[in-house]
Amino acid sequence: MNASQRDVLRLHLTPGLGRTALFKLHQYFGNFTVPLQASPQHWQEAGLTEKLCQKVPAENNQKFQQICRNIELLQVQLISFWDDDYPPLLREIHDPPALLYLRGQLPANDCFAIVGSRRATSAGLTLTRTLATTLAHHDVCIVSGLARGVDSAAHRGALDAKGATIAVLGCGIDRVYPPENSKLFHEIYQENAIITEYPPETPPLAGHFPGRNRIISGLSRGVLIVEAAEKSGSLITGDFALEQGRELFAIPGALQNPNSKGTNRLLKEGAQLVTEAEDILQVLWANQPSRQKQGEYNNITEQLDESARKVFQLLGHEPRHSDEIARECGLTPMELSAILLDLELRGGIQTLPGNHYIRGWI
């Protein structure tokens, strides 16, 4: 961390000095070094109070030094709005973060956000993962919030395709929330990116998540909402998407499912309907080819015998139980087990919990 980054960090750690104040300081002083040496009167001229000036932690402040050590230890990068590597789309929104904390590396790919219920149905989670995998195969970076449910499935789908994904936090970069996503957190930042606008040691308070959501949509060319109740936080992300001029997509759901009320309402209000990844690709990336080659698909079918080909062609995006597959293909459990294992090793199918299977080639 260089001297100018330490300067902006001191300001960002100042109690009561938020995003708006950082923009005022930079606009008035031209950088973040001069205000640290300026008088309270100059701060007042910049539109800030004398009390705020006096709250800036000193360079030798113990807590500041500890946070600096943690940032170095965790290899956190600080990216300000005025840096060249600040995300271009995020820079365009009307209330961009003044400072981002980053672990990992921001992908150069176009971004697309997928969000939804923390208590999504198994079908919703499976579809989310499949959609994210397909988009990642088209070199689209999947952005989400690392929450339980749909967010986790979206990140996991991108990783399944060895694609790009960004997790946006509603807490400090040194916090993993929810705790059970610790493994996913570490997988993401090792190859991709974890970002937040909140300083280290900031807890995951409820009031932080709307701010997190505007970053999710702000990074992205479009936002898909998979499942959302009538007052779901995911709908806030949808509102930000519309406000920011992003394309808004939603997946329809059963009328009796509470998690479908929000998405069905969005569709009635004009959101674009999604049942497969092609619905998104045609709107935003119509000419962007998949990294999965059709020749590879043809190759796998040519190598299969009649029974295996029948199983492979039966499977699609909807999970099928092994008993159902065996019944429809006229196979014994032992015969089916051998075929499924072979198809999985070839990468042709994916195994899901509870002896369910879906097509691996999208």
Q: Is 70 helix (H, G, I), strand (E, B) or coil?
A: helix
Work out the burial of residue 360: count CB atoms within 10 Å of its CB; fewer than 13 is exposed, 13-18 middle, 19 or more buried: buried
Q: What is the pLDDT of residue 111?
A: 98
Average pLDDT for runs of 10 along the chain of length 362: 93 94 96 95 94 93 95 96 96 96 95 96 93 94 97 96 96 96 96 96 94 98 95 92 97 87 94 94 85 56 85 82 94 93 83 84 47
Q: What is the pLDDT of residue 340?
A: 92
**CB-based contact 30:44 (threshold 8 Å):** no
Q: Given phi > 0 = left and psi -120 to 50 = alpha, else beta, which region is 127? A: alpha
Q: What is the pLDDT of residue 169?
A: 98
DSSP-derived secondary structure letter, 67? H
Q: What is the pLDDT of residue 295?
A: 47
* CA end-to-end span of the chain: 43
Q: Give the whole-angstrom CA distance, residue 226 versus residue 232.
A: 11
Q: What is the pLDDT of residue 294?
A: 45
Q: Is 253 helix (H, G, I), strand (E, B) or coil?
A: coil
Q: What is the pLDDT of residue 315?
A: 86
DSSP-derived secondary structure letter, 170? S
